[in-house]
Amino acid sequence: MVRKTAPPWAETPSRQTLADRLQVNSWRFKNELFEVHSGRPITLHKHMHDDFQIAVNTRGPGRYVCDGKRWDALPGDIVAVHPGEVHSTVGDCERPGNEPALLLYISESRLRSVASGLAGRPPSAIGFGQRVFRDAQLAMQLTRAHTKSAECESELAKDSWILQTISALLLRHAFDPRHLPERLPQEKKRAERARDFISDHYADNISLDRLADIVQLSPFQLCRVFSREYGLAPHSYQTAMRVDRAKVLLASGTAPADAAAATGFYDQSHLNRHFRRIVGVTPGRYAAAR
């Protein structure tokens, strides 16, 4: 009897551990889709996306074939694939330190909207000249945006982090900063209106779009003007106000969990993190010292 053996490509690896297998975790915050790819990279066949795909590469070296051109990406490089571009990836590469790859999908309409806010007018075209580029600062900002989008943060904070990241992406790799609009004469008054609204609604989950609409600025203009006038982004200003109000409640005998709920934090641990960062001690220690 002749024993038949399966060809090598048909065999299932028996020693592959769970950590080696490719895993994809995803979540959506409003307009953007976030993905984290962990485990050993694999070859992905030709495909395309409706949105821009922005990835922080952690594979060394990663290889992408996009519209017939080959792009090699080292760890830390950023990969930008346009909507509708047919592309594939080549696996069989090591991932240094088993770090996950981070992907962000942004619609073309969203990029055009942010670009319009930057330039003060709709762009004639939107896109990136290179599909792979090195930008350590932007890679860190993309990583931070991923983290913030998944955390229990205010809507204003998440909105701001994502907008700042998309703006940096456009300004550094798809847009000429010399085309930015000049300062508007009423910007200071509009920043004051935004500050007053945050002060009156500090415990509410305000969105950046709503705040920008109230003061009649684009979200990008609002962040730029507000930061220039008050030294903090709108979401940081809101967080500082929440902590300040929590201090008053704690000093009056309110329990930390109740103070967190009253000032707009998700829970006590959320208050603890920001309170310690701003005050230097936990809410419990602050209340115990009164």
How does pLDDT run across 62-77, given as a tens digit for each residue? Answer: 667 776 677 777 888 8
Place of tokens 């984290």: 36
Q: Contact 24/101 with Cβ under 8 angstroms?
A: no
For residue 281, the model assigns a pLDDT of: 86
Tell me how far apart the alpha carbons of residues 246 and 255 are, in angstroms, rounded to a whole number: 10
**If residue 215 lies in a helix (H) or strand (E), which one and from where to where?**
helix 208-215
Q: How many CA atoms lie within 13 A of 141 on its CB side?
A: 18
Query: Furthest-apart CA pair in the chain: how many Å?
Result: 91
**Angle formed by the axes of helices 108-119 and 219-230, to 10°?**
50
pLDDT exceeding 90 applies to what percent of the chain?
A: 26
Which of 41-45, 99-103, 127-131 is the least confident region? 41-45
CA angle 22/25/26 to nearest 5° reads: 140
Give me the mean pLDDT over the 36-45 stretch.
72
Tell me how far apart the alpha carbons of residues 201 and 257 are, in angstroms, rounded to a whole number: 20
How does pLDDT run across 201-256, given as a tens digit for each residue? Answer: 999 999 999 999 999 988 888 988 898 888 888 998 999 999 989 998 998 889 99
Would you place residue 84 in the very low, low, confident or very high pLDDT band (cuts 50, 70, 90)?
confident
Residue 47 confidence (pLDDT) above 90: no
Residue 173 confidence (pLDDT) above 90: no
Q: Contact 53/80 with Cβ under 8 angstroms?
A: yes
Nearest to 214 by CA among 230, 192, 233: 192
Nearest to 73 by CA among 101, 50, 97, 51: 101
Residue 193 confidence (pLDDT) above 60: yes
How does pLDDT run across 115-160, given as a tens digit for each residue? Answer: 888 777 777 778 887 888 899 999 999 998 988 888 878 899 999 9
Would you place residue 3 in the very low, low, confident or very high pLDDT band (cuts 50, 70, 90)?
very low
Helices (H), 131-186: 136-150, 155-173
Task: Return the CATH architecture of domain 239-288.
Answer: Orthogonal Bundle (1.10)
* 60-80 as b/e: b if 16+ CB within 10 A: eebbbebeeeebebebebbbb
For residue 208, the model assigns a pLDDT of: 93
Give me the mean pLDDT over the 174-194 stretch.
70
How does pLDDT run across 7-19, given as a tens digit for each residue? Answer: 332 334 444 454 4
Which of 164-173, 205-214, 253-262, 280-289 is the least confident region? 280-289
For residue 169, the model assigns a pLDDT of: 92
C-alpha distances (whole Å) from 50 to each of 53, 116, 146, 195 are: 9, 21, 20, 37
C-alpha distances (whole Å) from 174 to each of 1, 187, 219, 224, 263 are: 66, 26, 19, 19, 40
Q: Does CATH number 2.60.120.10 belong to domain 23-173? A: yes
Residue 59 confidence (pLDDT) above 70: no
For residue 75, the model assigns a pLDDT of: 81
Residue 171 confidence (pLDDT) above 60: yes
For residue 91, the model assigns a pLDDT of: 53
Task: Write down the domain spans for the chain.
Answer: 23-173, 239-288
C-alpha distances (whole Å) from 227 to each of 210, 218, 245 are: 17, 14, 21
Would you place residue 95 in the very low, low, confident or very high pLDDT band (cuts 50, 70, 90)?
very low
